[in-house]
């Protein structure tokens, strides 16, 4: 059943803060999510991204044992105006947490944090095969300023690029 507002059904959303929580404290869970979700396509640069202060990461944890069951991260987009454009590099939920609308909560928190850090746009390359591109197109309809299709250089198949104006919260 989709979640809404603060009713996260035993889950909580957290903005990862490298000054308060170490990468070592979350790396097991984050790498586990990436490995289960993306298998051999998991990004080997993930540890470096999480340890960079320029990265914004949002974690979805179980309230009872703090286990991380979903995560996403974004960083300055070096192919655009990196002061105001952040690239969302990964969005992943463990399979048993997919299909419950939780991506909306992760994206909302990520957007809020990007706005706080002074960004105006977020970009992403989103899979066409699993329907996620359609969900992004539907939910950011009025805020998409650029979109086109590509074939992933990293073996993720056909993807749609989106550049989205960040919303007001
Ligand atoms: C793709 C993935 C992130 C989607 O997350 P999810 O929580 O399972 O998504 P759901 O299928 O529950 O759909 C989310 C619902 O919230 C809606 N939604 C609301 N706000 C949204 C937002 N900001 N972003 C996306 N969807 C949003 C969607 O439209 C959808 O509703 P609908 O089916 O009625 O259209 C997740 O399934 C996953 O981790 N898959 C494997 C990894 C992957 O493919 N990652 C993406 C890489 S491109």
For the chain of 169 residues, list the mean pLDDT of each consecutive stretch of 10: 60 95 97 96 94 97 97 98 97 97 97 97 96 96 97 90 90
Q: What is the pLDDT of residue 156?
A: 86
CATH of 11-165, picked from 1.10.1240.10, 3.30.720.210, 2.60.120.10, 3.40.630.30, is: 3.40.630.30
Query: How many other CB atoms are found less than 10 A from the CB of residue 11?
Result: 19
Q: Which atom of ligand 1 is nearest to the CA of 125?
A: 48
For ligand 1, atom 20, name the residue with the nearest CA.
Answer: 104
**Ligand 1 nearest atom to the CA of residue 38, by list position:** 42
Q: What is the DSSP string of 12-44?
A: EEEEE-TTTS-HHHHHHHHHHHHHHHHGGGS-T
Residue 13: name the closest of 1, 25, 3 by CA: 3
CA of 91 to the centre of ligand 1 (A): 9
Which residue among 111, 132, 155 has the greatest number of ligand 1 atoms within 8 angstroms of its CB, and so is best to mutate?
132
Ligand 1, atom 35: closest residue by C-alpha: 135
Query: Where along the chain do its domains lie?
Result: 11-165
Q: Residue 128 is encoded by which pair of tokens?
A: 């066409």
> Model-level pTM?
0.94
**pLDDT at 7 (0 to 100):** 61
- Going through the chain in order, the beta strands assigned E by DSSP cover 11-16, 56-62, 68-76, 85-93, 121-127, 144-151, 158-165
How many angstroms separate the CA atoms of 4 and 22, rounded?
29
Please give the pLDDT value at position 141: 94
CA of 103 to the centre of ligand 1 (A): 5
């Amino acid at each position: 059943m989709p979640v809404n507002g603060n009713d996260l059904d035993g889950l909580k959303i957290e903005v990862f803060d490298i000054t308060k929580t170490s990468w070592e404290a979350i790396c097991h869970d984050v790498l586990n999510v990436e490995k289960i979700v993306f298998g051999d396509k998991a990004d080997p640069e993930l540890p470096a991204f999480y340890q960079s202060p320029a990265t914004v990461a949002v974690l979805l944890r179980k309230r009872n044992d703090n286990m991380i069951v979903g995560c996403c991260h974004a960083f300055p987009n070096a192919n655009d105006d990196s002061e105001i454009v952040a690239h969302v590099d990964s969005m992943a939920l463990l399979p048993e947490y997919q299909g419950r609308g939780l991506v909306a909560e992760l994206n909302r928190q990520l957007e809020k944090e990007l706005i706080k850090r002074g960004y105006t746009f977020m970009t992403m390359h989103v899979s066409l095969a699993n329907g996620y591109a359609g969900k992004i197109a539907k939910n950011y309809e009025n805020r998409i300023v650029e979109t086109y299709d590509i074939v992933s250089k990293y073996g993720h198949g056909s993807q749609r690029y989106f550049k989205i104006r960040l919303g007001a919260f």
